[in-house]
Structure 1
Amino acid sequence: MSSAPAQPPAQEPAQGPAQEPGRARRVVLVVGSGRSGTSVMAGTLRTLGLHVPQPEVVADATNPKGFGEPQWAVDLHHELLRRSNVQVSDARPQAWLEAGRVSADHAVRERVTTWLAEQLRAGDELVVKDPRAAWFLGLWRAAAARNDATSSYVTMLRPVTEVVGSKQAYYGADQNGVTRTAAWINMMLHTERATRGEQRAFVRYADMLADWTVPVFRIGDRFDLHAVRTAMANDIREVHSFIDPTLRRVTLTWDDVEVPARLRDLADETWQALDGLADEGGDTPAAHESFDQLRVAYADMYAEAEAFAHSTALAARREGARSAPPVPAPTSRIDAVPHAVRALVPPAARTRIRKALGRER
């Protein structure tokens, strides 16, 4: 989730694996909350031969192994989030509607479709990872379809307390544990709904660190990824070197994250339901019904919290208005007319107008 500067573009425009005639085009989107192992999954798929569009966001201290994020996609998502007044960790259920309006913009869809077409010329199996992408999955799905590519989704799963603790450690204290926990619930429940009925997989971060071959080769078979299914021994060794279990540096529990009991219970229920999706055969209609009920419960809880906090929001608005510099009122109707417009009126006519208004000088 970094907005660090991108690496310099490669000299050759097509650095990915060469396309083979007749091979299906595939776009794998790695989604889910940040700090959940999305970078590990994207880096693994890249190492096995899927193409990450270049240039990538550069590694930093928060993610020394690299993010596996195309800079173009990150910049696009930043722009769209600003336009929709949504932040990447937004706890508001309403935020999904705001982001959806931007996704439906025809010009935005054309931009993504054109960019994706260029990337598919560099490789017919792409991996696009950015936690912000979850807000715009319909946009990416449409762009892939317009390029005759199949879109698939990998959602990474990590216990909410570890996600919240990792964000607190690496992303600063601009949000507290309550807000981050609520945002995690909102993100994960709506990501599940947005990918339902699509080609998708849920992978526990802990399973990736314990033995990545099991979930990744299962994904290769489920998504029919040629690069994964035909991976060579050298590729597999590189992934073993790439995945570092010691990078799971935050392992908190609810004893370390202070949130209201009701929010904690709903987060636990959401985690248990998501965890079940990672099991073979766990993605069932009964599970979907549970998620629908959880989304309703979360929306109700959030609406209740907003109602309680309404007086605080009004006070903050009044304080902002009171501290804003006063706007000088025009001294007359003529002064309210912009100077550029007044300059278009001949001097003699301006004099007559001023006389009529008692403003001759």
Structure 2
Amino acid sequence: MSEPAEPRRVVLVVGSGRSGTSTMAGTLRTLGLHVPQPEVAADATNPKGFGEPQWLVDTHDDLLKRSGVQVSDARPRAWLDAGKVSADHAVRERVSDWLADQLGQADELVLKDPRAAWFLGLWRAAAERNGATTSYVTMLRPVTEVVGSKQKYYDARQGGVTRTAAWINMMLGTERATRGEQRAFVRYADMLADWTVPVFALGESFDLHAVKTAMAVDIAAVHRFIDPSLRRVTLTWDDVQVPTALRELAEETWQALDGLAEPGGDTPEAHAVCDQLREAYGEMYDEAEAFAASSVLAARREGVRQGRAEAQQPSGGALDRVPHRVRAMVPPTARRTLRKALGRER
């Protein structure tokens, strides 16, 4: 492979959905970085646009289905499940080939999709294969605002507890996955207050030619693009009802991540705090999973009874209709017992 004329750079905008990732991606696009086309169309939840390549979203959706992971997944083991899919040779080839096509159109790309956090190793490998440097921008927004925004605009079947737990898992996992790489943490509030400060700092630290050479017309276009009124949900813990222990852990996680956005805040000491919080979350989740086992088994048995009443269909039935996130909470021995009861043991 011949060396490209200009340095190739891939900026991944990561972080929980509803954290300002679209604002960051749209800003970098307006300043000249390339967002692969076509993009996901704007809608009422994001009237300024998502800044997400449709191919990226479709591919990540496929990989999430294959791994049994949700976009916002509270399970610590979801990182392992997603990683197994990322290691698939055919997947790596497909992603690398697509990225090669995009880098053939522009030397500086911005890739944004909240689903991407589960597959950062996959994208890092694809970029390296194409002679590109990867950088990561993690957008930060208080967990209460993220949860409140998701409750307002997304599927209401997920409650505040699940969304809060998933935020902790996603954000701490993303911090760990980008550690040691070229990265930055940017507060959504700082983008709305004066986007030029964090974005031009990114241009210098990531050596982004488009940002460093932005013209006055480009800067004016970003000023028109960023609308502070779009921060339409501002909640506190008084508005989000979750168990005290989960609230305290979420608040500690927010404080630790917020500190990473401070100049000089991305330190080994800060990393150690994040490691401790991630371990504490894993222990909390294990305890909650153990408490819920009886309810999960009861729901599964009810599904089995309903399936038998409907029809004797060994190849499908009620067991398949139990959501993966529920099935994953049942011990393997119990799953085998239920499969035998349905005649599905192989």
Can you list the C-alpha shifts for 1:86-115, whole angstroms capped at 9, x where unaligned? Answer: 110100001111000000000000000000
Report the Cα distance in structure 2 between the residues aligned to 1:21 and 1:295, rounded to whole angstroms: 40
**Counterpart among 176, 180, 185 of residue 202 in structure 1:** 185
RMSD of the alignment, in Å? Answer: 1.1
Q: CA deviation at 1:189?
A: 0.2
**Counterpart among 307, 312, 333 of residue 327 in structure 1:** 312
Could you tell me which amino acid in structure 2 is paired with residue 189 of structure 1? Answer: L
| Gap runs ≥5 in structure 2 | 315-346
Matches within 5 A, 1:307-346: 307-324=290-307, 325-327=310-312
Residue of structure 2 equivalent to 1:36: 19
Residue of structure 1 equivalent to 2:170: 187
Can you list the C-alpha shifts for 1:296-349, whole angstroms capped at 9, x where unaligned? Answer: 0000000000000000111111111111134279xxxxxxxxxxxxxxxxxxxx
Residue of structure 2 equivalent to 1:10: none
Report the Cα distance in structure 1 between the residues aligned to 2:306 and 2:128, rounded to whole angstroms: 50
Residue of structure 2 equivalent to 1:338: none
Corresponding residue SS for 2:138: strand
Q: Quick check: which has more Rg, 1 or 2?
A: 1
Residue of structure 2 equivalent to 1:263: 246
Residue of structure 1 equivalent to 2:69: 86
| Gap runs ≥5 in structure 1 | 1-19, 330-361
CA pair 328-262 structure 1, distance change in 2 beyond 3 A: closer
Q: CA deviation at 1:21?
A: 5.8
**Counterpart among 232, 238, 244 of residue 227 in structure 2:** 244
Corresponding residue SS for 1:51: coil
**Counterpart among 15, 19, 27 of residue 10 in structure 2:** 27
Could you tell me which amino acid in structure 1 is paired with residue 278 of structure 2? Answer: R
Report the Cα distance in structure 2 between the residues aligned to 1:320 and 1:217, rounded to whole angstroms: 55
CA pair 119-328 structure 1, distance change in 2 beyond 3 A: closer
Residue of structure 2 equivalent to 1:114: 97
Report the Cα distance in structure 1 between the residues aligned to 2:75 and 2:255, rounded to whole angstroms: 22
Can you list the C-alpha shifts for 1:232-263, whole angstroms capped at 9, x where unaligned? Answer: 00000000000000000000001100000000
Residue of structure 2 equivalent to 1:230: 213
Moved over 3 A (4+): none
Can you list the C-alpha shifts for 1:198-251, whole angstroms capped at 9, x where unaligned? Answer: 000000000000000000000000000000000000000000000000000000
Residue of structure 2 equivalent to 1:273: 256
Residue of structure 1 equivalent to 2:152: 169
More helix by share: 2
Residue of structure 2 equivalent to 1:134: 117
Residue of structure 1 equivalent to 2:37: 54
Report the Cα distance in structure 1 between the residues aligned to 2:235 and 2:147, rounded to whole angstroms: 9
Could you tell me which amino acid in structure 1 is paired with residue 312 of structure 2? Answer: V
Report the Cα distance in structure 2 between the residues aligned to 1:286 and 1:21, rounded to whole angstroms: 38
Residue of structure 1 equivalent to 2:126: 143
Corresponding residue SS for 2:134: strand
Residue of structure 1 equivalent to 2:282: 299
Report the Cα distance in structure 2 between the residues aligned to 1:308 and 1:166, rounded to whole angstroms: 29
Report the Cα distance in structure 1 between the residues aligned to 2:276 and 2:155, rounded to whole angstroms: 33
Could you tell me which amino acid in structure 1 is paired with residue 143 of structure 2? Answer: V
Residue of structure 2 equivalent to 1:6: none
Could you tell me which amino acid in structure 2 is paired with residue 323 of structure 1? Answer: Q
Matches within 5 A, 1:6-17: none
Report how many residues are paired.
310
Aligned-pair identity in percent equals: 79
Report the Cα distance in structure 2 between the residues aligned to 1:262 and 1:48, rounded to whole angstroms: 43
Report the Cα distance in structure 2 between the residues aligned to 1:174 and 1:73, rounded to whole angstroms: 26
Could you tell me which amino acid in structure 2 is paired with residue 199 of structure 1? Answer: Q
Corresponding residue SS for 2:70: coil
CA pair 327-164 structure 1, distance change in 2 beyond 3 A: same
Can you list the C-alpha shifts for 1:114-145, whole angstroms capped at 9, x where unaligned? Answer: 00000001100000000000000000000000
Corresponding residue SS for 1:128: strand
**Counterpart among 107, 124, 145 of residue 124 in structure 1:** 107
Could you tell me which amino acid in structure 2 is paired with residue 327 of structure 1? Answer: Q
